[in-house]
Structure 1
Amino acid sequence: MTASSEIRLTLEPNDEAPACQAVCALLRDHNWNANPELMQLLTSPKPKDPINLIAWSEQAVVGGLLGYTQRKWLRIDILAVAPDHRQRGIGTSLMREAERLARLRGCCYGYVDTLEHQAPGFYLRFGYQSSGEIKDWDSRGNAKYFLTRRIAPDSG
């Protein structure tokens, strides 16, 4: 189907413009009709609960994991270790502790996205599996990987 001569397309640079909000409302209304149970879950107040773990060596930060838990999921936003402290188990310790805390909060799954030049191999060795890939994500030939892992049995 193509836009008919009766339809006019415009470019709206402001995400908060009333026209953009009207588009959001169209999708929201569709989702409420198609899957009210999920929409209730998504709109109920369940804030993100931060998990920000910092690795210290004496007085200096040498690494950390920044993320959060929400519903049954642990989201890892950033995991970084200083170059001179890599290959010492710091990343593994950060991951284990984040997953332990997430399980205590009732999480069953973990997810992360990482770029090709970052650490996909680390997460794969840790038991994460590819859930998707965007080739040439940065328009310079580097892929972005989406990885997930079951960290506890799903209780339903």
Structure 2
Amino acid sequence: MKIDICNKEDIKPIVDGLNAYNLEKVSALSSIWTPLEFNIKNYNDVVVGGVLAGINYWNGLEIKILWVEENYRQQGFGSALLRHLEHEAKIRGASMAMVDTFDFQAEGFYLKHNYEVIGELKGFPKHHKRIYFSKVL
């Protein structure tokens, strides 16, 4: 046996193997991954925020990144992106949303949007915490 760095060709059998195992245990409710990726632009057509997310095969909305440029924060752009994302996810059959953030990022933002804390990693990074949220859609 040998452990080595993955190349692009190595990744597919790993992902396929995990998916096959998971689907043996619990049947899929939707296609394997439905990307939901949206941006928000200013009047000059420049991207000032966006969200990268998707729906997994058990109809869970997984939010990977939600970001708004600093000059546009506290103006409702993040809230608009999140509401749009949740709406589009519900149309496509998502029943739950999940996301993680850090205490120095968007903890208050997700709490304001009725996300529930389901776990924390204290001291990661040092003197901070990583927070895991979920929300029934």
Range of TM-score over shorter length = 0.7 to 0.9
Deviation at 1:41, TM superposition (A): 2.3
The one-letter code sitting in structure 1 at the alignment partner of 2:50 is: G
1:94 aligned counterpart, secondary structure: helix
Q: 1:51 to 1:37 in 2, by over 3 A?
A: closer
Q: Which residue of 2 aligns with 1:141?
A: 127
Please say if 1:100 is aligned against 2:101: no
Q: What is the percentage of aligned positions where both structures have the same residue?
A: 28
More strand by share: 2
Q: Which residue of 2 aligns with 1:39?
A: 25
List gaps (5 residues or longer) in structure 1: 1-11, 17-27, 152-156
Alpha-carbon separation, structure 1, partners of 2:73 and 2:38: 16
TM-score, normalization by structure 2: 0.79
Cα deviations across residues 40-95 of structure 1 (Å, max 9, x unaligned)? 426x9832111111000122110011110112211110011011111111111101
| CA-atom RMSD in angstroms | 2.6
Deviation at 1:137, TM superposition (A): 1.6
Please say if 1:116 is aligned against 2:103: yes
TM-score, normalization by structure 1: 0.69
Q: Which has the larger radius of gyration?
A: 1
Cα deviations across residues 98-144 of structure 1 (Å, max 9, x unaligned)? 00011011111101000111101100010000000010122x22100
Detail structure 1 runs of 4+ shifted over 6 Å in the superposition. none
2:104 aligned counterpart, secondary structure: coil
